[in-house]
Amino acid sequence: MMARTPDIEKAVEVLRTGGLVALPTETVYGLGANAEDPVAVARIFRVKGRPPSHPLIVHIGGAEHLDDWVQEVPATARLLAEHFWPGPLTLVLRRGRRVPLEATGGLETVAVRVPDHPVAQALLSAFGGGVTAPSANRFGSVSPTTADHVRAELGDAVDFVLDGGSCEVGVESTIVDATGDIPSILRPGGVTREDLEAVLKCPITVPSTSQVRVPGQHPSHYAPRARVVLVEPEKVVAEAELAQELGHQVGVFLPPSLTDASVKVHAVVALPASTAAYARGLYGFLRELDQRGCDLIIVSLPTEEGLGLAIANRLRRAAGPRPTV
Ligand code: TXA
Ligand code: MG
């Protein structure tokens, strides 16, 4: 779906005057600012409630602009950019001078990606510069995959929302540290580990899911209001019904093998059979269960292959301990 040209012109004007534009990408909606405007970049952190040490991704119009934003492009990074851009892959490289430290959380590296969405492409080409954009949600909560999600969550805090329909991929980009000779995955996402390995012709490491928890930090992220509890696949129905009996308003993600089961809980999401459709729907399903008044969501992890790796990563984070307020 193409945004009308006047919308793109308006969005460019907002970016040029230091404002914030919500923009569709193929993964999730981003909250964008002119990457070279430290004041506008600082506003992103305020609106999201995000700690300033958490670096942002710089979105650019094409791989041909990469050298403008980073100091050097190792051969492996060039190879990955050629294969996967435009697309849901973010490369972490050494920061070029053009990128203010405000955007990188003070780091000497910068994350860069070329989104594969006609509206994002139209915006980036009309704007000419880079657009820093985190996902357009409050810090720690579920990422938006429609313009309505953005409006509901951020309202007037955004100066302009570009509506590009529902996001095709539905989970964020895969982040690859490409600063050295041996790349590694920092966050699984829309480009699968298998796709990366096929191009690199070698295995690539993924962060362990049982990372050490630093005291005082809360790993909860991508989280709905309802508490998320992970259970073994064969226990989904029994655990959900038990929690409902104990007085919870339970929402459950029901795997396709169980779709016919009549589960006695408050709300049921029948999961689609393909992992691509699951990824596309994931954040919408979590939002839906919140809206339907669930206080507990029971779910099992998918097999960690293909997009299942990113889905499992988001569900684990959503189920992580919440900050105590
Ligand atoms: O698909 C996506 O990546 C979406 C769309 C809008 O492009 N963006 C997104 O941004 O997910 P955000 O801010 O929600 O997540 C960016 C992630 C953070 O986990 C951050 O720590 C990591 O990128 N990141 C950014 N710069 C980095 C750097 N220099 N080194 C390591 N990680 C970095
Ligand atoms: Mg995010």
Give 269-292 pLDDT, tens digit per residue: 999 999 999 999 999 999 999 999
What is the position in ligand 1's atom list of the atom closest to the CA of 190? 1
Confidence of residue 4 (pLDDT cuts 50, 70, 90): low
Cite the DSSP H helix spans in 168-252.
193-200, 236-245
d(CA 140, CA 89): 21
Q: Cβ distance 113 to 90 under 8 Å?
A: yes
Q: Please list the residues that pair with 90 across neighbouring strands.
A: 175
What CATH class does 227-318 carry?
alpha beta
Where do the structural domains in the chain lie, given as residue ranges?
5-200, 227-318
Q: Which residue has the higher pLDDT, 6 or 38?
A: 38
d(CA 121, CA 3): 11
d(CA 24, CA 121): 10
CB atoms < 10 A from the CB of 238, how many?
Answer: 13
**Which three-class secondary structure state does DSSP give residue 176?**
strand
The residue contributing the CA closest to ligand 1 atom 17 is: 56
CB atoms < 10 A from the CB of 148, how many?
Answer: 14
Does 216 have pLDDT greater than 90?
no
What is the position in ligand 1's atom list of the atom closest to the CA of 50? 13
Does 256 have pLDDT greater than 60?
yes
d(CA 42, CA 33): 9
Second CATH level (architecture) for the domain 5-200: Alpha-Beta Complex (3.90)
Average pLDDT in the 103-114 region? 97
Kindly give the distance from the C-alpha atom of residue 208 to the centroid of ligand 1, in angstroms, as a whole number: 18
Q: How far is CA 76 from the centre of its chain?
A: 24
User: Does 186 sit in the ligand 1 pocket, CB within 6 Å?
Assistant: yes
Q: Tokens representing 251? A: 């929402």
Kindly give the distance from the C-alpha atom of residue 139 to the centroid of ligand 2, in angstroms, as a whole number: 7
The values of phi and psi at residue 189, to 5°, are -165, -145
Give the model confidence (pLDDT) of 295-321 as tens digits: 999 999 999 999 999 999 999 999 998
User: Which ligand ends up closest to the CA of 283?
Assistant: 2
Kindly state the DSSP code that residue 53 receives in the 8-state scheme. T
d(CA 130, CA 138): 22
Confidence of residue 54 (pLDDT cuts 50, 70, 90): very high
| pLDDT score, position 217 | 45
Q: Cβ distance 137 to 144 under 8 Å?
A: yes
Kindly give the distance from the C-alpha atom of residue 321 to the centroid of ligand 1, in angstroms, as a whole number: 21
Nearest to 316 by CA among 196, 206, 205: 206
CB atoms < 10 A from the CB of 82, how many?
Answer: 10
Task: Say if 5-200 and 227-318 have the same CATH topology.
Answer: no
| pLDDT score, position 2 | 53
The residue contributing the CA closest to ligand 1 atom 12 is: 134
> What type of residue is 98?
R
pTM of the full structure:
0.95
d(CA 253, CA 267): 9
Q: Which residue has the higher pLDDT, 1 or 205?
A: 205
d(CA 164, CA 291): 23
| pLDDT score, position 142 | 96
User: Does 93 sit in the ligand 1 pocket, CB within 6 Å?
Assistant: no
Based on C-alpha coordinates, what's the Rg of the chain?
A: 20
> What type of residue is 67?
D
Q: Which residue has the higher pLDDT, 214 or 189?
A: 189
Does 131 have pLDDT greater than 70?
yes
Task: Spell out where the chain has E strands.
Answer: 21-23, 30-34, 57-59, 89-94, 109-113, 131-132, 160-161, 174-177, 184-187, 227-230, 250-254, 267-270, 296-299
Q: Cβ distance 219 to 317 under 8 Å?
A: yes
